[in-house]
Chains A and B, each alone.
Chain A
């Protein structure tokens, strides 16, 4: 098993199947450290910023004990030689940004919740990062690094030695310490440095006659180090995304496992030495065999540096398509929270180097049936950008996209938008691609029969028409639903073109302000053209009368039409919060408003068609009947709005809820699929027999939940009203679920560390069902009350009984 701290939870993965087996939740804040109990390998200690240490039986996923320490815990260490104490890093009281390593004496008293107040300081002035402290051979000493200093404290001798490297910042970078690891059997400390060097310290029990040797392969910061169990090998990883294996501490004997995808953040060795795993910055865990071959990877949505492509839905697989690894396009299945596949678009080796301009994928468009895929890649150059437009054809045989046409420099300047003519019923040869560029033109690309007999393919793409308008930069383009009209926005003006003759039909503008987004209405509303300007106006033009139908003052960031209905979603950004407005173009009043959607700026949104239309009880959520809306914020959290009825599923489990507080969180939080600050640790090889046993114990509901896609299930916070209900009217458990019109949203607190991580957070929108049972009070909970409720939920249930 592989255990990993993720957000407020500890996740357990199966090494064999890559499945998430269990999620252990109960901490109120970020889990900062997990360690196997050195005296019982079925038990796990976890520490959290909420100031508590929990001891888990991770096979059953139940907490055994909770020790409250009181102050924030930033890292956790457990040692076999210290029978009843753990080591944690806590902030020094009274001083900011100084931390100390303390040992916590765990009281042996019975009971679940214990106080652990017996602290004794071991080391002062340590770093907050868990990578920067390591315990040596049999717990004889502890090594801590900070900036340019290495401290070694010997427990037996009670001796503290300090060493420092020269602070001089040479041209090869600075030599600050970044991580530390101790040899398991010898007196040897390995330290990683910001300039890519690894130093192996020996003889450090002498203040003066210490010595170190240097290993240098990494060209940039060494992110983490780990010794093999026998101590013969040292593993190191860094931003090069190469795992380096050093044998016998020799500079000449090293092996590499390259192309791991992205920078290595953590390295962890299994206790039997057979496996090791690396954790990457793009939200992925790689499991590696001891002979340095890739075994498995546990991955969800890959985090890329910058989602330039936007959220696009693949019509074929209904997968969300966006930037993945550099130069790749990832197809992310929302149903299974898995990456379906990754398409290499750029097809060039990615070289990690600061300041090097890489070719990156910037635009993606699918044709209506997903038959064709158009991609634009560009390399940022100061003088002239390097552009390529590629057209890919879906090959049924190989079930993947095949490159059909490559066009170098389709535009003189950056391509701003691109769209296919979505005409499902039309023949293939009427497929048209339009690109708009900052070089003030839009270009129409059509398929032509290939005349070259040597060519393997029958068709290729070429430019058919170039249009421009008053030498303004073209910013957006959009086809009407029937494909007869093309709208292209040129800075402040929207132009409408006939797609058959390429005549300019009419123009619209709404000065001042440049057009940010345009889209045509669908179905009933196809006579309307919607545009959003960067001066905060949303305008709707009637194409028949060529007049402004209505306009609204709204700072629209994202404008996204639902392909299956006439609804259009607009996300606005005002005073540090995003709001969602859903409207139909034919009426100026929104049908749905969701203010304060989240605190982060929402960058992108996409409607993903449902496989089958949902039955929707409320008029208010009718627009979500056929599609589901997903958002991506600028911290790369993926969110959705949903309005599911959860009754049937939750009925049994909600009973459990009432019984025990901490348990029910487990199945739900599992489904949240949170990939946040992760810290991989230990996996232990246990008998596989235990797994089926466990499953049988689970209630059927939990089982079902385990196999239900994450995005369709509610957040943990949804449990709150259910829980309240079950407390209030215990008889009517059944109806309790038909609760509350509750808009719950789980957005994580801002990260406290520099690691840019991402949450895949769910927003749950429950069904608004009749509320007779609970009365007005519960269902009309105001926003603030809801929040309050969430806060209190975990601590004070007596408050609820006041209802």
Chain B
């Protein structure tokens, strides 16, 4: 590995929003996740749990419940009182309908996907009919006082169970009448304390499962209204509950951050008598587990500590190994930082503002591993607040540092930044061309003359930037075949000749910028693209996929390079393929053309194409052992992957110049301290 001067940046104060609700779609293998700031994300389990789609939040639109209808339509409802349908190809709200019952706390779709039930603040349960292109109000069910916090349909669609405060009710869908009322707190205390039913599930056997604020998971016979079983799992609330499709396993999440699994097990071998038994406890979260989901092979939980945890069930797995490993996701799978290499600026994207920082500098040199004193501290230059309730989709700073662009769902902003000594002035570029919004990715050309805007339906717009502060729409690229999905990754060659764009259907199109035409399409690979970059010298496009495969595609020759074929023939190292997080950024070292610099959340890697690839018997992370070896032995042990895990979690890494790197870290502890305090628990030995 070459030796670099590293800017270790820790002043990116990103606090990921907590997970509010989860909806798992078993057929597509997709998980929809809503965060407390209203952002909705879609994870694709088939594509190695890649965060495929992100719909940024909206101040006025919190999401309290998500559900999939008929497999591919995603609905969300929140305290704003509206039910929204999301357009997953354009990554925005397609339509929204007012629920008419005040804030909506819960929403559930029936098994056939024809009706949606919502539970409202005013105590009403309303039925909506799902029609093509939207939903239609159908009718109200029997209304009583008390907000409906949770809802569940009986799998036969005949009844709905609803949980409220102190009570659970069962409605007959046809008549709309309440057919059963069960007081939940009846058994608890002499002193009556409010018992909140946080979550409910209606099983096909007629059992209603509730989880409540007394830490209990209770099983009720809805017809008789009797308690079948009660399990106290926690001293604090049990906030969430999810049942597997086979109805033999339940996962619950508590406000202490623990999740528990319940299983329906035979009491005796061979006998038919079965009982729910609390089996496995997991403590992956530090804060409230607000949402859980149960896939056929895994327990999924999301907490206010912004973590999404996927815990595969060992007994459902065919074999032990990579598939059965625990996954934790805290940070987004995309880039929130952009870097102006020449000006040594960093632009940080937050949900509703941008921060521009100038890196510090030093004039000293030191040995390997030494921390150099700074002669100039990093400087917070400017903070740009986005106007309006919408959150930022994407942002970028030009390499020269004088242009700044960001986009929200309905607006696109371009700024001209001027530096005059220590003072800085930001001026909005007037009259930006009307584009197809929102922009999903922004990219400046290497000479800062052009701005590329990735847009819906696979199109990319080229804007020419004009001094002293204007711009002009030059051209719009569209793929030859009609593509409904938006472009979410862009890469531009440093000579300004080529542009690569990856869209949501995982196709990569290459455009010629000189003659404004489509050049070629990279052969389709059936996995999500996580990062793209064009080599500055050879104009090879390096592509990282979510299954951790790496490809190198020669743009002038329109085919994969020889090295890429070797990689495919030999296969990548097992340890490399089993990493958890996708490559989020690729860059190159102009001094050393055979080097490719890649990083994900947990490592930074220099890939040296001139060295042989490691086979599975070799140690992938061998930097520390190499250091101890004598020179001759070291030569033999060298392989292409040089991995550094010093910086974690790594949100961004880039090469400023030949021997200067910038690493943006966000230590977990730093952002944990900014979260609200978790429930105080007495820990033994403290």
Contact = CB atoms under 8 A, between A and B. Distances in A.
25 contacts: A140-B269, A154-B269, A186-B267, A187-B266, A187-B268, A202-B279, A203-B263, A208-B315, A210-B315, A211-B277, A212-B279, A213-B278, A213-B281, A214-B280, A219-B684, A249-B278, A250-B231, A250-B232, A250-B233, A251-B278, A252-B215, A252-B233, A252-B234, A252-B235, A253-B232
A65 interface: no
Contacts of B234: 252
B277 A252 contact: no
A205 interface: yes
A212 to B, nearest CB: 6
B685 interface: yes
Contacts of B232: 250, 252-253
B280 A187 contact: no
A425 interface: no
Contact of B269 (A187, A248, A251, A253): A187
Contacts of B265: 202-203, 211
Contact of B280 (A203, A208, A211, A219): A211
A137 interface: yes
Interface string B215-241: 100000000000000011111000000
Interface string B230-258: 01111100000000000000000000000
A148 to B, nearest CB: 16
Contact of A213 (B267, B277, B315): B277
Interface string B25-48: 000000000000000000000000
A57 to B, nearest CB: 36
Contacts of A252: 215, 232-235
A209 interface: yes
Given A186-B268, A203-B266, 9 more contacts: A202-B277, A203-B263, A208-B315, A210-B315, A211-B263, A211-B277, A213-B280, A251-B233, A252-B235
A37 B233 CA distance: 41
Contacts of B233: 250-252
A211 B315 contact: yes
Contacts of A219: 684-685
Contacts of A205: 269
A137 B267 CA distance: 11
B326 to A, nearest CB: 13
Interface of B: 215, 231-235, 261, 263, 265-269, 277-281, 315, 684-685
A211 B275 CA distance: 13
A212 B268 contact: no
Contacts of A253: 232
B4 to A, nearest CB: 35
A250 B231 CA distance: 7
Q: Which 7 A-B pairs have the closest CB atoms?
A: A252-B232, A211-B279, A209-B315, A213-B279, A205-B269, A208-B315, A186-B267
Nearest to B278: A213
A140 B277 CA distance: 21
Contacts of A154: 269
Nearest to B684: A219
A205 B234 CA distance: 29
B267 A187 contact: yes
Contacts of A137: 268
A249 B266 contact: no
B262 to A, nearest CB: 9
Nearest to A210: B315
Nearest to A253: B232
A212 B315 contact: no
Contacts of A140: 269
B299 to A, nearest CB: 13
Nearest to B314: A208
Nearest to A196: B684
Nearest to B270: A205
B96 to A, nearest CB: 42
- Among B231, B261, B685: residue with most chain A CB under 10 A: B231
Nearest to A250: B232
B317 to A, nearest CB: 9
Contacts of B267: 186-187
Contacts of A251: 233, 278, 281
B628 to A, nearest CB: 26
Nearest to B258: A251
A186 B271 CA distance: 10
Contacts of A185: 268
Contacts of A203: 263, 265-266
Contacts of A209: 315
A250 B278 contact: yes
A209 B246 CA distance: 14
A253 B233 CA distance: 9
A251 to B, nearest CB: 7
Contacts of B215: 252
B281 A214 contact: yes
- Among B233, B235, B277, B685: residue with most chain A CB under 10 A: B277
Interface in A211-226: 211-214, 219
- Among A185, A212, A251: residue with most chain B CB under 10 A: A251
Contacts of B235: 252
Contacts of B281: 213-214, 251
A281 B684 CA distance: 24
A185 B267 CA distance: 9
A367 B267 CA distance: 67
Contacts of B231: 248, 250
Nearest to A206: B315
Nearest to A208: B315
A126 B232 CA distance: 36
Nearest to A207: B315
A203 B266 CA distance: 7
Contacts of A213: 277-281
Nearest to B260: A213
A187 B266 CA distance: 8
- Among A140, A154, A202, A212: residue with most chain B CB under 10 A: A202
A161 to B, nearest CB: 11
- Among A137, A185, A249, A252: residue with most chain B CB under 10 A: A252
Contacts of A212: 279-280
Contacts of A250: 231-233, 278
A25 B209 CA distance: 59
A422 to B, nearest CB: 49
Nearest to A218: B684
Nearest to B232: A252
Nearest to B234: A252
A203 B267 CA distance: 9
Contacts of B685: 219
A243 B267 CA distance: 27
Contacts of B277: 202, 211, 213, 249
Contacts of A186: 267-268
Interface string A707-723: 00000000000000000
A162 to B, nearest CB: 15
Contacts of A208: 315
Interface in A108-140: 137, 140
- Among B215, B235, B267: residue with most chain A CB under 10 A: B267
A185 B315 CA distance: 25
Interface string A228-259: 00000000000000000000111111000000
Contacts of B279: 202, 211-213
Nearest to B275: A186
A140 B266 CA distance: 15
- Among B263, B269, B277: residue with most chain A CB under 10 A: B269
A140 B268 CA distance: 10
Nearest to A138: B268
B320 to A, nearest CB: 11
Nearest to B317: A208
Nearest to A205: B269
Contacts of B280: 211-214
A137 B271 CA distance: 13
Contacts of B261: 211
A140 B269 CA distance: 10
